[in-house]
């Protein structure tokens, strides 16, 4: 095994481990990152070879790059001692390759003069290849960890690493700019943040030529990012206006914008609780952001009073039963978030293959959340419960995997005992005992 250094982005540190573990599992890469400290952007891992390192970081969103580790120290002198001790056998192998030096500093930077002096201090490497600023054979990087004291900028790093760049991440290669909502042709009020949408698809293990379903598609945020990773996407939503868009702006236009139209299968106007997908239609992954009932109350097809609705089936318009006409708008009844999530888990348990993943976001009020509020299903194992905290509430990315018949889980819907999230939200999360 070889030591590599991962340099993380300073975004959603609690999500890093889930993303890398999921990618490692997807590509069958042995990886132990149980020692990861979310407070630091640097992590040393052991991998079999550069190929594993490239696969691990190529589509990562919460990391910046991975480097074959040549040395580490708390001072520049210690770093040089470490490089000579650990990596002297590598000098000859890379001796004639073209190269350049880069610097990565967390919470600190070097002047041009300082960088030049550090580069000269590595003369003992004995490289004879040509220095190329563009497309060299190898890129050697000095990575430094600084700490700031209040408003005072630190001048001396606490720790230094020296490594050979193996792979920059999708983030470093511009995937966030590419999918930035500000540049997307069709968005809406419910369009999901591109960074977390991409990370969700990684943790859900969206992969090439696998069917990805979003039952609450909206403007297609998760469908679009799933297609970026090669997923074949299909979506549904109860609101036809979201799926249809306006004019030339719709979900299909987003796929065209990103050159992924071949990964867009279709969308359907459909109540998820009355799912019209064939029972033998294969679904490999489900990724979604279920409606919270904040912008409007949750609704599903059906009548509040079934007895009254039954009489309406005899209404005739132009010689045709009203409920069979194409312009018929079916009645809708209230639907609780706890019921929606229970139905979602049950659907995933029935439709996913063994090993398939369900990933969705669930809102919680910070002052009342308990671990048992996370819904469970007897056929699904909860892999990750990842929190994005706001002021008085959070949303959690819950990721499950479909298990085989020998798995003995429990079906639990702890949200049913909670005060309704929508009520808490509009009361600004004041005393919950006063809510109805």
Residue-wise pLDDT for 118-155, tens only, equals 999 999 999 999 999 999 999 999 999 998 665 566 78
- Domain contains 59: yes
- Give the per-residue pLDDT at 165: 98
Residue 182 has pLDDT above 90, yes or no: yes
**62-107: per-residue pLDDT in tens?**
999 999 999 999 999 999 999 999 999 999 999 999 999 999 999 8
- Give the per-residue pLDDT at 434: 45
**Residues 316, 322: contact at Cβ < 8 Å?**
yes
CA distances from 193 to 15, 31, 85, 216, 287 (A): 15, 29, 45, 15, 14
Residue after which a domain boundary falls, among 173, 201, 228: 173
CATH number for position 388 = 3.40.50.150
Query: What's the pTM value of the predicted model, to 2 decimals?
Result: 0.90
Q: Which residue has the tokens 């074959």?
A: 68
C-alpha angle 36-37-39 in degrees, rounded to nearest 5: 145
Do 156 and 188 fall into the same domain?
A: no
- Domain contains 226: yes
Q: Which residue has the tokens 């209404």?
A: 315
Give the mean model confidence (pLDDT) for residues 22-29: 98
Do 242 and 386 fall into the same domain?
A: yes
- Domain contains 435: no
Residue 293 has pLDDT above 70, yes or no: no
CATH number for position 53 = 3.30.2130.30
Do 223 and 339 fall into the same domain?
A: yes
Do 133 and 250 fall into the same domain?
A: no
- Domain contains 436: no
Residue 431 has pLDDT above 80, yes or no: no
- Give the per-residue pLDDT at 436: 41
DSSP 30: -
- Domain contains 434: no
**215-229: per-residue pLDDT in tens?**
999 999 999 999 999
Do 32 and 156 fall into the same domain?
A: yes
94-98, 189-193, 422-426: least confident range: 422-426
- Domain contains 189: yes
Do 251 and 398 fall into the same domain?
A: yes
385-409 burial, b for 16+ CB within 10 Å, e for fewer? ebeeeeeebbbbbbbbbbbeeeeee
Q: Which residue has the tokens 């990773």?
A: 229
Do 144 and 196 fall into the same domain?
A: no
- Domain contains 166: yes
Q: In degrees rounded to 5, what are phi and psi of residue 66?
A: -135, 140
- Domain contains 117: yes
Residue 388 has pLDDT above 60, yes or no: yes
Do 165 and 66 fall into the same domain?
A: yes
Do 124 and 220 fall into the same domain?
A: no
Residue after which a domain boundary falls, among 173, 194, 210: 173
Do 118 and 206 fall into the same domain?
A: no
Residue after which a domain boundary falls, among 173, 207, 234: 173
Residue 21 has pLDDT above 80, yes or no: yes
pLDDT band at 328 (very low <50, low <70, confident <90, very high): low
Do 169 and 189 fall into the same domain?
A: no
Residue 325 sits in which domain range? 181-428
Do 132 and 234 fall into the same domain?
A: no
Candidates 201, 250, 253; CA nearest to 230 is: 201
**243-281: per-residue pLDDT in tens?**
989 999 999 999 999 999 999 999 999 888 888 899 999
The CA distance from 236 to 261, in Å, is 17
How does the average pLDDT of the chain come out, rounded?
90
Q: Which residue has the tokens 């009520």?
A: 423
Domain count, the chain: 2
């Amino acid at each position: 095994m070889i030591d590599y250094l991962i340099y993380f982005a300073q975004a959603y540190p609690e999500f890093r481990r889930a993303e890398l573990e999921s990618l490692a599992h997807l590509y069958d890469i042995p990886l132990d990152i149980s020692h990861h400290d979310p407070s630091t952007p640097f992590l040393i891992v052991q991998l079999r070879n550069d190929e594993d390192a490239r696969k691990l970081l190529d589509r990562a969103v919460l990391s910046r790059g991975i480097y074959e580790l040549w040395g580490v120290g708390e001072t520049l002198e210690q770093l040089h001692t470490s490089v000579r001790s650990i990596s002297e056998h590598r000098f000859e192998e890379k001796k004639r390759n073209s190269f350049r030096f880069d610097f990565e500093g967390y919470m600190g930077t070097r002047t041009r003069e300082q960088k030049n002096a550090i580069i000269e201090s590595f003369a003992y490497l004995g490289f004879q290849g040509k220095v190329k600023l563009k497309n060299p054979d190898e890129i050697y990087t000095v990575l430094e960890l600084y700490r700031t004291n209040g408003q005072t900028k630190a001048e001396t790093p606490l720790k230094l690493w020296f490594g050979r760049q193996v792979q920059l991440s999708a983030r470093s290669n511009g995937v966030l700019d590419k999918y930035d909502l500000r540049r997307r042709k069709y968005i809406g009020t419910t369009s999901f943040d591109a960074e977390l949408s991409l990370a969700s698809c990684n943790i859900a293990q969206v992969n090439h030529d696998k069917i990805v379903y979003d039952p609450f598609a909206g403007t297609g945020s998760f469908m679009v990012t799933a297609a970026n990773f090669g997923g074949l996407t299909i979506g549904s939503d109860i609101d036809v206006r979201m799926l249809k868009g306006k004019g030339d702006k719709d979900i299909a236009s987003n796929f065209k914008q990103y050159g992924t139209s071949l990964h867009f299968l279709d969308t359907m106007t459909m109540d998820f609780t009355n799912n019209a997908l064939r029972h033998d239609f294969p679904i490999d992954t489900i990724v979604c952001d279920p409606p919270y009932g904040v912008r409007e109350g949750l609704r599903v097809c059906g009548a509040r009073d079934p007895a009254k609705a039954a009489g309406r089936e005899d209404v005739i318009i132009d010689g045709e039963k009203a409920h069979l006409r194409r312009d018929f708008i079916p009645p809708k009844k209230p639907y609780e978030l706890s019921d929606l999530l229970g139905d979602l888990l049950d659907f995933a348990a029935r439709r996913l293959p063994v090993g398939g993943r369900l990933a969705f976001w669930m809102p919680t009020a910070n002052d009342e959340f308990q671990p048992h509020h996370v819904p469970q299903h007897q056929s699904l194992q909860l892999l990750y419960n990842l929190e994005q905290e706001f002021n008085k509430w959070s949303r959690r990315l819950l990721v499950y995997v479909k298990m085989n018949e020998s798995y003995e889980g429990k079906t639990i819907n702890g949200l049913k005992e909670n005060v309704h999230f929508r009520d808490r939200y509009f009361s600004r999360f004041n005393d919950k005992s006063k809510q109805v």
